[in-house]
Amino acid sequence: MTCEHEWQDSGGCSENPGVFDNGNGGMVYVKRCTICGMMRKRGKDYTGWRSGNTWGPYYYLPDGSSCGRDGLLVWSGRAKA
Ligand SMILES: [Zn+2]
């Protein structure tokens, strides 16, 4: 099973859908695939000096388990642990 992924902003407020402030000088962007339900999270630093706030994207299966940084490739049902 493969999925082309149709990413749609997930959560957040109406003005900034899919965008969260992590309270530590960084933003978190969340999108969810409307087809398979996979979630993609990406963090971005906005202070310019907290490099640890820039990360991802990471992909998560619908049940919340992580499936690494290349969800386009690893999505094959539950094959990848
Ligand atoms: Zn998908």
DSSP 53-66: G-EEEEEE-TTS-B
**46 in any annotated domain:** yes
Report in angstroms the alpha-carbon separations of 80 from 5, 17, 59: 18, 30, 12
**81 in any annotated domain:** no
Which residues form the domain of 48?
7-74
**80 in any annotated domain:** no
**65 in any annotated domain:** yes
- CA–centroid distance, 48 to ligand 1, in Å, is 32
pLDDT tens, per residue, the chain with 81 residues: 578 899 999 999 899 999 999 888 899 999 999 999 999 999 999 888 877 888 888 888 888 887 766 554 444 444 444
Report in angstroms the alpha-carbon separations of 24 from 27, 52, 63, 72: 8, 10, 27, 29
- CA–centroid distance, 18 to ligand 1, in Å, is 17
- CA–centroid distance, 47 to ligand 1, in Å, is 32
Count of the separate structural domains present in the chain: 1
Q: Residue 44: its pLDDT value, please?
A: 92
Bridge partner residues of 30 (DSSP): 41
